[in-house]
Structure 1
Amino acid sequence: MSAARPGILLVLDGWGHAEPGEANALTAADTPCLDRLLGTPLAVLAEASGTAVGLLPGTVGNSEIGHIVIGAGRPVPYDSVLVEERISSGALRSDETLSAALTGAARTGGSLHLIGLSSDGMIHANVHHLRELLHIAALFAVPEVRIHAITDGRDVADGTAATYLETVEGYAAEAGIGTIATVTGRGYALDKSGDLSLTERAARAIADGAGHLIGEPKDALATTGRGEEWVEPSVVTGGDGAPVGPVRDGDVVLFTNFRSDRIQQLADHLHRELAARGVTFLSLAQYDTAAAIPALVHRADAGGGLAARLAEMGLRSVRIAEAEKFEHVTYYLNGREAAVAPVEEHIRISDATPPDYRARPEMSIGQVTEAVTSAARRDDVPLVVANLANIDVVGHTGDHAATVRAAEHTDRAVEALCRVASETGRWVLLVGDHGNAEKMLTESGGVRRPYGGHTTNPVPAVLVPAEGQRVGRPQGAATLADIAPSVLSLLGVGPAPAMTGRALW
């Protein structure tokens, strides 16, 4: 165990590692501080995807599981894995909650509405789960299945929505049931900024059939000039010109995303509007909604990690992030524990006007840096934890030039925080939570497209020790599960019993 010192844990969201190349925005950026740190003997590459963190083999990492594993100190089976297990074993077909809802719909002539992201980015959803759900609906002789497709353009390459809509239609044809009723971009349906006007537009299309009227699902893709994330809420009509699938009294609504945070605003809104009309609500995986929506697949335990150990030892921590990533350094890092522990302080940096990330790639990193600096100068705070969101959030736009600038803003912030750490006798541990900006292009069918999704690449982890602090070099392979044990070791505390990771320094 290293000599105990206070420290700063910086999660550089979307900071992945790949060799320099045309697609790599990180190596194209002028980042002298990060380059210098990555060249030290205390830098290591850590696995942040696939089975190393609790995902299916070959699955890209994401911010949610990344922060969960950083905090848990062990791989945690992700919701997508648990859903796949229920499907492959056939257990979903005999799920009592689902069976009761579909039996009721078949008896009363109600429809099943499937609402979720129609892509296979494996960050929030997997369109292939629709295949099993449609077959289950056919087994229960549900009269109609209405599919409310949410286009992506963020977790997968822009320009691919038409292919995913074809996939959905193919699954419906195979099952002999299912019609796409609405098509809406995730910018509306999966808003996380708190802009309820966006959610309202998505909800009205789904619930009431009120929106841009189209004859075929693909017609919706012509409604945006900002990419498929912003497809206007569109309603498919039948031969009579009427919407084919608004939600009726007594219908069943099933949300098919396995990740909660982006879908829950829409889920709560629809529940408020429709529950009183006898509509049954279900979610494929467990959500953090205000409404009590029964889940078909429940979560794995992610507790007993860093937060629990800090609380046990009475060690105060301050958690700081912009609104985009605030839950990640609080709720997810704490093993999905919503309550704020007495030894924790949470600082959410909010922007009154959601920025255009392409035009303003610095986001609010200046305010984050100020908040970290203030917390680091306090003697009563052994640990400051912050998320620097720029690389990931701007990377998701697919704009290479803007992402280069985001990386440069991040580099300057890291340099400033390392100076503060030096002045206050603190160590700094920097780590990525998943890859993103190191791969900004993708190729399919010989066509190269901008790419704003995540990757399976490893992420850097590097320690900047406090002055005079003696630490060893990291040895052997590393994963995100090693971060919490490392933080505790640097604080002079042993790992929690539930941790399987090891201290790297």
Structure 2
Amino acid sequence: MSAVRPGILLVLDGWGHAEPGEGNALAAADTPCLDRLRATPAAVLAEASGSAVGLLPGTVGNSEIGHIVIGAGRPVPYDSVLVEERIDDGGLRSHETLGAALDGLAATGGSLHLIGLASDGMIHANVHHLRELLRIAALFAVPAVRIHAITDGRDVADGTAAHHLATVEEYAAEAGVGSIATVIGRGYALDKSGDLALTERAARAIADGTGHRIGEPEEALATGGGGDEWVEPGVVTGADGQPLGPVRDGDVVLFTNFRSDRIQQLADRLYGELAGRGVTFLSLAQYDTEAPIPALVHRADAGGGLADRLAECGVRSVRIAEAEKFEHVTYYLNGRKAGPAPLEEHVRISADGRTDHRAAPEMNIDRVTEAIGAAARRADVPLVVANLANIDVVGHTGDYAATVRAAEHTDRAVAALCRVASGTGRWMLLVGDHGNAEKMLAGAGGVSRPYGGHTTNPVPAVLVPAPGQEAAQPTGTATLADIAPSVLSLLGLGPAPAMTGRALW
């Protein structure tokens, strides 16, 4: 094998492409470096959503599948697609584990608790999956179904929680079973920063009905001073004034999110308290929890990608990201394999306490940039893989002005990293994982609302060649599946057999 040609793979999270216009924070930002790079012949637009990456056609991309496909070098059927297939082919209705759990409730008079994000954002969950679960509960004559609705405001436009709660109630009425027992903002229920105090408030509302008491689910929305994401845990009461749906001994808890990373902290917390009381736990899709929670739908294999090929060739890499995106350049990029691969080093940049990203859109980008530079200057590290999180994380707040500033901080970091790459004789490949900040308004009924969710837009991918080298213009349609083969080609290595993507440069 010839000498490896060192480089940097840099993922700009949420870096999507759209024509300049209202709501396009990326076009409004002053980004001279990114503008210059995108104007070079080595720039291309890559598909990062829908079937190009393993999602349902027309489904927005997301960070999880984006990094999985970047690493796998091929589309990987996403968990949401697999769930849809099991709904369409009747697999959920005939699932032995689910059937046994529901038969038990019908015999004992216990309750089924459905816990998940109540929106159709298709990033972590799809509220429409709830419809099938309620129908199945009715088929099995489950006496009571308690729905613990998590409001969104991040994957969908803020201010749409009332609409989605109404959808849940419509599905329950249609099935003839089910009622909303708690309403909790995702800031509490889906925390993944390790802030256990937030998770505790969500857990207490679900487990024993501790929280702000409300007569109707929609009343909870008045407490969302920080938008739908931060709706205070609300507990719906019955005619007797008591909580409608605490979890009782012998009940069944089913988590309805299809994506693991944000629900697993709550899932582990509830399992730790309730499993010893005879409560059965299930998840709609496979989770990475510490607790042994059986999944109704198992995930597709994402192995045989970039990490495996690097290990096979004895190539060292360093993975760098802020805590928000650290799992994406490690666990997800590596085909959902826990722990560092052989010859792989991890550098996690953690924030000091909880940060308001609207007030500090720079996040920790300076520290991330410094860490990338330190790794790039090491002769024993052929590949540095890093994620700049600002555009996506700040974009999710829906704050247009803050997202413009986040893009400008990102541009300055990229300019600095271009100098690092040049000074260390490295090529650098920049790519978005999905769209976000290029569309920060969403409308319905002629009304535009701030939008912090993802998009179906393509993402830029651009190669900054090493000093003394040139990069030809890519031809044909590009997708995220082409990134791993491109990285391996730039390193001077061949692709892995499982990869279906092609080298763009």
CA spacing shift, 1:2–1:56, aligned 2, 3 Å:
farther
Shift of 1:340: 1.3
Q: Which amino acid aligns with 2:31?
A: T
Q: Secondary structure at the match of 1:94?
A: coil
Q: Contact 1:76–1:302 at 8 Å: present in 2 too?
A: yes
Find the counterpart in structure 2 of residue 235 from structure 1.
Answer: 235
**Matched letter for residue 124 of structure 1:** H
Match of 1:171 in 2: 171
Deviations 1:59-100 (A, max 9, x none): 000000000000000000000000000001111100011001
1:347 aligned partner: 347
Deviation of the 1:330 alpha carbon: 0.0
- Check conservation: 2:304, 2:498, Cα contact below 8 A: yes
Q: Is the 8 A contact 1:2 1:490 kept in 2?
A: no
Partners of 2:331 and 2:337 within 8 A in 1? yes
Point out where structure 2 has 5 or more consecutive residues left out of the alignment. Answer: none
Offset of 1:473 from its aligned partner?
1.9
In the alignment, structure 1 residue 257 sits paired with structure 2 residue 257: yes
Tell whether the 8 Å contact from 2:4 to 2:382 is kept in structure 1 after alignment: no
Please tell me the residue identity of whatever aligns with 2:243: P
User: What amino acid does structure 2 have at the position aligned with 1:80?
Assistant: S
SS at match of 2:93: helix
Percent identical: 84
Look up the match of 2:134: 134
Deviation by residue 1:32-51 (Cα, 9 ceiling, x = unmatched):
00000000000000000000
Query: C-alpha distance in 1, partners of 2:428/2:320?
Result: 15
User: Aligned-pair distance for 1:470?
Assistant: 3.7
Residue of structure 2 equivalent to 1:151: 151
Q: How does 1:3-42 map to 2 (within 5 A)?
A: 5-42=5-42
Match of 1:409 in 2: 409
The AA in structure 2 aligned to 1:45 is L
Extract unaligned runs of 5+ from structure 1.
none
1:271 aligns with 2:271: yes
Q: Distance in 2 between matches of 1:217 and 1:341?
A: 46
Question: TM-score by structure 2 length?
Answer: 0.99
CA shift for structure 1 position 263: 0.1
Kindly provide the amino acid, as one letter, of the partner of residue 446 in structure 2.
G
Residue 504 of structure 1 aligns with which residue?
504
**Which residue of structure 2 lines up, in the alignment, with residue 421 of structure 1?**
421
In the superposition, relative to structure 1, how do residues 2 and 124 fare at CA in structure 2: closer, same or farther (>3 Å)? farther
Structure 2 distance, partners of 1:351, 1:234, is 29
State the partner residue of 2:69: 69
Secondary structure (helix, strand or coil) at the match of 2:127 reads coil
Residue 207 (structure 1) aligns with: 207
Distance 1:397 1:471 in 2: 37
Deviations 1:255-311, CA, capped at 9 Å, x for gaps:
000000000000000000100000000000000000000000000000000000000
Partners of 1:68 and 1:76 within 8 A in 2: yes
RMSD between aligned residues: 1.0
- For residues 342 and 300 of structure 2, the distance between their equivalents in structure 1, rounded to whole angstroms, comes to 25
Q: Distance in 2 between matches of 1:163 and 1:443?
A: 14
Distance (whole Å) between structure 1 residues aligned to residue 138 and residue 350 of structure 2: 46
Counterpart amino acid of residue 121 in structure 2: G
Matches within 5 A, 1:383-402: 383-402=383-402
Deviation at 1:443, TM superposition (A): 0.5
- What letter corresponds to residue 184 of structure 1 in structure 2? I
Residue 174 of structure 1 aligns to which amino acid in structure 2? E
Q: CA deviation at 1:471?
A: 3.5
The equivalent of 2:48 in structure 1 is 48
Listed one character per residue, the Cα deviations across residues 156-178 of structure 1 (whole Å, up to 9, x for unaligned) are 00110001000000000000000
1:216-248: CA deviation from partner (whole Å, max 9, x where unpaired): 000000012110100000000011100010000
- CA–CA separation in structure 1 for the residues paired with 2:22 and 2:172: 39
Contact 1:253 1:280 in 2 (8 A): yes
Query: What is the deviation of 1:4?
Result: 5.1
Q: Does 1:109 align with 2:109?
A: yes
Whether the aligned pair in 1 keeps the contact of 2:318 and 2:347 (CA below 8 Å) is yes
Post-superposition Cα deviations, 1:445-498, rounded to whole Å, max 9, x if no partner, equal 111100000000000000000011243221110000000000000000000000
State the partner residue of 1:485: 485
Instruction: Kindly provide the amino acid, as one letter, of the partner of residue 15 in structure 2.
Output: W
The separation in 1 between residues aligned to 2:286 and 2:65, in whole angstroms, is: 15
Q: Tell me which amino acid in the other structure corresponds to 2:214.
A: I
* Most deviating of 121-130 and 470-479: 470-479
CA contact (8 A) 2:440 2:450 kept: yes
User: Could you tell me how far 1:22 is from its partner in structure 2?
Assistant: 1.3
Q: CA deviation at 1:18?
A: 0.1
Pairing 1:328–2:354 present: no
* Alignment-derived partner of residue 98 in structure 1: 98
Residue correspondences, number? 505
Residue identity in the other structure for 2:358: R
Three-state SS of the structure 2 residue aligned to 1:181 is strand
SS of structure 2 residue aligned to 1:33: helix
Give deviations 1:391-433, integer Å, cap 9, x for gaps: 0000000000000000000000000000010000000000000
Equivalence for 2:465: 465
